[in-house]
Structure 1
Amino acid sequence: MTLPSLETTAIPGLVVVRLDRREDDRGFFKENWQREKMLAIGLPDFGPVQNNVSFNSERGVTRGIHTEPWDKFISLATGRIFGAWVDMREGETFGTTFTLEMDTSVAVFVPRGVGNSYQTLEDATAYTYLVNEHWRPGISYPALALDDATVAIDWPIPLDEAIISEKDQNNPALDPTTAIAPKKTLIVGALGQLGRALHAAHPDADRVDIFASDGVPALDLTDAQAVGAWPWHEYAVVLNAAAYTAVDAAETTEGRVAAWAANASGPATLSRLAREHGFTLVHYSSDYVFDGTAPLDPGHTEDEPLSPLGVYAQSKAAGDLAVGLAPRHYLLRTSWVIGEGKNFVRTMQALAEKGVSPSVVDDQVGRLTFTDELVRATRHLLESGADFGTYNISNDGPAMSWREIAQAVFGRSGRSAEDVSGTSTTAYAEGVLARGEPFAPRPLNSAMSLEKIKATGYKPEDAIAALDRYLG
């Protein structure tokens, strides 16, 4: 069998597929749906979950213009139809129509929000369609009158001679106020520093966090009842900025449970939901999933085997494995995140202003990642159509130690870089443990290769340039 061919139409996303149908004196054979070949010609990987057949015994049966809230792949098992489609989505193409006569060698992909109708041109026509959401009781969706004067579909069989259900004879006229809005974006962990930065870039997104605050509702991803009641089918993208980031506290009995709940169980739940509802899952991970033994150049790569050291690291690594099972996912591994709120840069700035001369570890090296860099990278991946998968992302430039970063902050705060002394991770850990506090092992090299995301056309900003802007 050869590849089918694909033809675009005036309705964005609605495409015609010419199938490879083989005939002989016994009848015909065709591959009606073959995922690998459909993807090869550019059809979206829409993940069908249900196959329906509408058998029409007589010529002239005309089915109403229905705008169901899912994608459809339409074809015929027998017979011929005249198909008609109307764009019912918000935007410039609202009301645009496309018509086509179809036989068993033709299929059409219909994106969510496009009204779908057909008229049979032969007796015994079997109309089949794949959809990527299960039908749900009580679901409602816009319909359009078959004889609407605005769209003016030229039906080959006059409607007064057609066979039409009573319901479809009473559908409303085209009304822009009923235009279908695109699916939404949901930010999980919206009250953290990354979540707040994502909301600034996606102000219309829905938001949830583990606890309700500032008008943001609570959603506990470990609560099966709460998760089951949430309308996941309404979302095209879920941005998971939720994480337990208290690296040292994760080594305690309480912290271990909280870390695994937020960093492993939560992402596993979202990955399952992404498979069930077809949304794109964007998840943010950490350099801590590696043990820090990779060479500084090029640093940790996306395909490096996971080697987490502490509880926090292990829980993040488990989350990575779970997210990787979602068909449509971007897993962004990042390091040393700096946003609004309490963080290392703000702490060093405050110490500089107070006249304190701190001792900072000088044997851990990596790159800062400002939250606006993560936001920009997220938008790039979503809008560019980059391949799904794992991407390292941080700000660019040479890897620096924590001491060098502190010195850069001091220098920009009117203090001498020499006011920041150095210490080793081992010495720092001994001091923490001597106070009876928990201490998690750290990777000494947190630098990650940025070549994969750069290959998509993305250019990360230099970390020092971003630091200058952050400090004003």
Structure 2
Amino acid sequence: MKQLAVHPTPIPGLLVIDLPVPGDNRGWFKENWQRAKMVEAGLPDFGPVQNNISFNQAVGVTRGIHAEPWDKYISVGTGRVFGAWVDLREGPSFGTAYWHEITPDVAIYVPRGVGNAFQTLDAPAVYTYLVNDHWSEGAQAQYTFVNLADETVAIPWPIPLGEAELSAKDEAHPRLADVVPVPLRRTLIVGGGGQLARALERRWSAREDVDVVGRNALDIADAQSVACFDFTPYGTIVNAAAYTAVDAAETPQGRRGAWATNVAGVGRLVEASRESGARLVHVSSDYVFDGTAEVHAEDEAFSPLGVYGQSKAAGDALVATLPAHYLIRTSWVVGDGNNFVRTMASLAERGIDPSVVSDQVGRLTFTDDLAAAIDHLLSSGAAYGTYNVSNSGEARSWADIAARVYELVGADPARVTPVTTAEYYAGKEGIAPRPEHSALDLAKIQHAGFTPRDQDEALAAYLAG
């Protein structure tokens, strides 16, 4: 009996799955689809929503070649079929063909855009497939076809097509030379104009498959805006939109704004990703923790202190319901525009001697490094889940960082006076509580093959630039 195993093929993303089929004199049994085991073995967690069955009465029944706007998981319940696949997606693998017999102990995973066909060898054959989108007339209009007899593809049909049973539609499909390739699914950056979105734009400036939208085109806090937006072209959605006014979130109006964007808006993106079959990248914060642990791991339980942190934690919980997600937890983000580092540099140049909090400790995260980490996870095919991302190096207080900024711009670091959080905010109202410790454990992202720059190195480069 075979053991569960997943094997690659010459067509990128097309996988052959060996299935255990135990049996005895009464018959056999198999786990045709077992999400946990199969994902662990290497099958994408593609989220099927519909199961279809094709019953084929006679030997020689031949169907295809159809590329469909969803992913498919194919197997047979009884009988034997010859399966053939042609990559119809634009790119260097366009036209690549592969074929394999399918019996009850073999399944095939077919990514969207790869043409699928089969021929019945032993009848009756029950051909079953799971898909991750619902069939509709509109979806059928998005099919791409290639002729079963195309000379370039040259599929070695066991039963010659002249002796097989084909539909008139399948016989009329175009040759490969006349096929318009299926466009690759695009990447959408939500939150255009923000510091992370700008860093991602720089990172992906040479790509032609990236769209960036600001609030005028897609406001995730507005249900109608999300409902009117077409997510179908996108295979990846990066959510760089967030309500980040930590102190304002403690006010009645700010509380509503934080929850509208960070919870309700994130929930809408999760459902849009689920419906369109897109993977979602979502950026979270160390504020989901209370800061009592000196270093925060990805699996630490939520314990937010203020409204902002509470809204981010709630959004994280929604993102976790989507199988294909990267939840990026970060801290002390520095990018384009006004930020702590720019403020300290400006104070130093103007001769101002600031008092800076010394009992909040963490690491900076420069948006260029955050964008690089996101790019790495997406391009490397790293396992979905939560990843901590910040710059590396020794955790420092805000006062330490301020002093280092002063030193880098040629000012005396002793001009920075360390104070406690209580001293700094004494007499001020409407101040949100801050975590005392914000340093994130970076072992998981490093194990995934990405090593963030040291924050001191990144700080010096940022100020030099």
TM-score, normalised via structure 1 length: 0.91
AA at the equivalent of 1:208? V
Distance change (3 Å), C-alpha of 1:41 and 1:394: closer
Distance change (3 Å), C-alpha of 1:254 and 1:59: same
Task: Determine the structure 2 residue equivalent to 1:383.
Answer: 379
RMSD value over aligned CA atoms?
Answer: 2.2
- Residues 145 and 179 of structure 2 are in contact (CA less than 8 Å); yes or no, is this contact kept in structure 1? no
Task: Determine the structure 2 residue equivalent to 1:261.
Answer: 260
Q: Secondary structure at the match of 2:168?
A: coil
AA at the equivalent of 1:453? I
Task: Determine the structure 1 residue equivalent to 2:362.
Answer: 366
Answering whether residue 182 of structure 2 is matched by residue 180 of structure 1, we say: yes
Task: Determine the structure 1 residue equivalent to 2:283.
Answer: 284
- Residues 3 and 37 of structure 1 are in contact (CA less than 8 Å); yes or no, is this contact kept in structure 2? no
Task: Determine the structure 2 residue equivalent to 1:153.
Answer: 155
Q: Secondary structure at the match of 1:124?
A: strand
Distance change (3 Å), C-alpha of 1:424 and 1:69: same
d(CA) in 2 for partners of 1:95, 1:393: 39
**CA offsets 1:291-310 (integer angstroms, 9 cap, x no match):** 22223xxx222222222122
d(CA) in 1 for partners of 2:19, 2:252: 59
Correspondence list, 1:430-445, <5 A: 430-433=426-429, 438-445=430-437
Q: Secondary structure at the match of 1:319?
A: helix
- Residues 62 and 117 of structure 2 are in contact (CA less than 8 Å); yes or no, is this contact kept in structure 1? yes
Answering whether residue 239 of structure 2 is matched by residue 243 of structure 1, we say: no
Q: Secondary structure at the match of 1:381?
A: helix
AA at the equivalent of 2:252? T
Task: Determine the structure 2 residue equivalent to 1:215.
Answer: none
Alpha-carbon offset, residue 398 of structure 1: 1.5
- Residues 3 and 41 of structure 1 are in contact (CA less than 8 Å); yes or no, is this contact kept in structure 2? no
Task: Determine the structure 2 residue equivalent to 1:194.
Answer: 196
d(CA) in 2 for partners of 1:93, 1:153: 16
Q: How many residues align?
A: 459
Task: Determine the structure 2 residue equivalent to 1:54.
Answer: 54
**Mean CA deviation greater in 234-243 or 451-460:** 451-460
Answering whether residue 130 of structure 2 is matched by residue 130 of structure 1, we say: yes
Answering whether residue 208 of structure 2 is matched by residue 209 of structure 1, we say: no
Distance change (3 Å), C-alpha of 1:33 and 1:287: closer
Distance change (3 Å), C-alpha of 1:132 and 1:458: same
- Residues 15 and 110 of structure 1 are in contact (CA less than 8 Å); yes or no, is this contact kept in structure 2? yes
Q: What stretches of structure 1 of length at least 5 have no aligned partner?
A: 213-217
- Residues 274 and 327 of structure 1 are in contact (CA less than 8 Å); yes or no, is this contact kept in structure 2? no
Kindly, what percent of the aligned residue pairs are identical? Answer: 56
Task: Determine the structure 1 residue equivalent to 2:116.
Answer: 116
Distance change (3 Å), C-alpha of 1:64 and 1:321: closer
Distance change (3 Å), C-alpha of 1:343 and 1:163: same
Distance change (3 Å), C-alpha of 1:40 and 1:330: closer
d(CA) in 1 for partners of 2:178, 2:305: 56
Distance change (3 Å), C-alpha of 1:45 and 1:186: same
Correspondence list, 1:269-418, <5 A: 269-295=268-294, 299-418=295-414
Task: Determine the structure 1 residue equivalent to 2:416.
Answer: 420
AA at the equivalent of 2:268? T
d(CA) in 2 for partners of 1:50, 1:138: 16
d(CA) in 2 for partners of 1:376, 1:166: 50
Distance change (3 Å), C-alpha of 1:161 and 1:197: same
Alpha-carbon offset, residue 284 of structure 1: 1.1
**CA offsets 1:101-138 (integer angstroms, 9 cap, x no match):** 33333322212111111222344322211111111322
Aligned with 1:166 (options 168, 179, 182) = 168
d(CA) in 2 for partners of 1:120, 1:257: 59
d(CA) in 2 for partners of 1:81, 1:376: 45
Distance change (3 Å), C-alpha of 1:20 and 1:225: same
**Mean CA deviation greater in 339-348 or 234-243:** 234-243
**CA offsets 1:275-318 (integer angstroms, 9 cap, x no match):** 444322221111122222223xxx22222222212221221122
Q: What stretches of structure 2 of length at least 5 have no aligned partner?
A: none
Task: Determine the structure 1 residue equivalent to 2:222.
Answer: 223
- Residues 146 and 179 of structure 2 are in contact (CA less than 8 Å); yes or no, is this contact kept in structure 1? no
Distance change (3 Å), C-alpha of 1:390 and 1:81: closer
d(CA) in 1 for partners of 2:317, 2:36: 24
- Residues 222 and 265 of structure 2 are in contact (CA less than 8 Å); yes or no, is this contact kept in structure 1? no
Alpha-carbon offset, residue 146 of structure 1: 1.5
TM-score, normalised via structure 2 length: 0.92
